[in-house]
Structure 1
Amino acid sequence: MNPRRRIARTLLCGALLPLSACGIPATGVVEAGEPATGVRGPAGTPTPTQAPSEAVPAAAVPLYFVADGDLVAVTRTVIGATDLGSAVLMLFKGPDAEERGRGLTSELPPAAEAPTVRADGAAVVVQLPKGTGGLSETAVDQLACTVAVARLRQDPALGSAQVTVEQPGGRLAGRSSDDCPTGAADETGDMGGSTGGHTAGG
């Protein structure tokens, strides 16, 4: 073999040896997979897209407390969906700091467990758990009016709601939304009744 060809072949093999020793094929660029997607930033780098966050709706919850012996309707705005049971739980927890600052109180005793609320059209039954003490007329008014107005907010087409409070020992007390003071109830557009005071006891 020509000495010059032998030297050229040796140099060529020496140049290819590092590639083969590292396991890199000498075939050029191999493309695989799908191209990257997304919005590119100013520097040309892909930026992952994000789904728009859904806003959590706010709900207006009617509650009835007491001021100078009369019922007072207030509306609390809370985040997220609410139901009749949620309104009752908030009522039993009593006025918040801002409401207490306005002189509002509650005659409802602390509840060891949540009352049971059953709705059938315009008729709603609130069953107090065992161990709950007897409620005063004002406490029954607070509970019944809160549930009645909350029920009308669920279904304004009802026009009115009848609430029965079942107390331990089989004592029953009935109230109609028509007897509840206006205030928070005004937003339903269907509430009438007095501007304060107690409704007839049961």
Structure 2
Amino acid sequence: MAMLSAGLTAALTLTACGVPPSDAIEAGEPASGIFPRSEPSGQAVVSLYFLADGDPKAYPRKIDHPVDLRTVVGQPFYGPTRGEAVTATTQLPHLTDTPGVSADGGSDVSIKLPDDVAPLSHPAMLQLACTVAHVSGSLAASPANARRNEALASTSVHVLGDGRTTSQTADDCPSPRQS
């Protein structure tokens, strides 16, 4: 009987906390999408594109702040991490230094590789074009930037090295959410 009484007392105590019930409280706009997030530890999460079964696929990766275009573009050249390598491969060469990167302020990005690097394959060019096309959304998660992301498919990457230029658009890139 004492056990039943103790259980009943505990149940009544938990249900009678003194907070009156209320209707739903409206506050602001409903949720409208997922933006790349910044980690409190001074890191940002960006989408790097590697190959999964030969097709470009986004792999989220934490990168230390400050995050800029040159830093993000250099990441795929280091290859997938051990965890990513379970499903990811790369056709990008391993570079010991971050390549030179310049943007024209529009949708063209140039990447200067060392002269001793062989021409990049089509899948490697897609990896770069997809990473560059989606890096803008990762650099600043804001509604204004979301509008800019709609035009990212028109991004063109130009890889320069040893007197040649190879270009690739991001037309065939899956979005990070589709990957």
Cα deviation, residue 121, structure 1: 2.5
Residue of structure 1 equivalent to 2:29: none
Q: 1:148-187 maps to which residues of 2 (within 5 A)?
A: 148-154=133-139, 156=145, 157-158=147-148, 159-160=151-152, 161-176=155-170, 178-182=171-175, 184=176, 186=177
Matched-pair contact (CA < 8 Å) for 2:47–2:58: yes
Residue of structure 2 equivalent to 1:104: 88
Match of 1:67 among 52, 56, 62: 52
Query: How many Å separate the matches in 2 of 1:175 and 1:148?
Result: 9
Identical amino acids, percent of aligned pairs:
35
Which protein, 1 or 2, shows the higher relative CO under an 8 Å CA cutoff with sep ≥ 6? 2
Query: How many Å separate the matches in 1 of 2:138 and 2:93?
Result: 26
Q: Which amino acid aligns with 2:97?
A: E
The number of aligned residues is: 130
Matched-pair contact (CA < 8 Å) for 1:114–1:129: no
Match of 2:68 among 83, 91, 105: 83
Q: 1:153 to 1:122 in 2, by over 3 A?
A: farther
Cα deviation, residue 127, structure 1: 2.0
TM-score, normalised to structure 2's length? 0.63
Query: How many Å separate the matches in 2 of 1:78 and 1:114?
Result: 14
Residue of structure 2 equivalent to 1:114: 98
Q: 1:170 to 1:84 in 2, by over 3 A?
A: same
Matched-pair contact (CA < 8 Å) for 1:66–1:106: yes
Q: 1:138-153 maps to which residues of 2 (within 5 A)?
A: 138-153=123-138
Larger Rg: 1
TM-score, normalised to structure 1's length? 0.57
Over the aligned positions, Cα root-mean-square deviation in angstroms equals: 2.2
Q: 3-state SS of the aligned residue for 2:80?
A: coil
> Which ranges in structure 1 are unaligned for 5 or more consecutive residues?
1-54, 187-194, 197-202
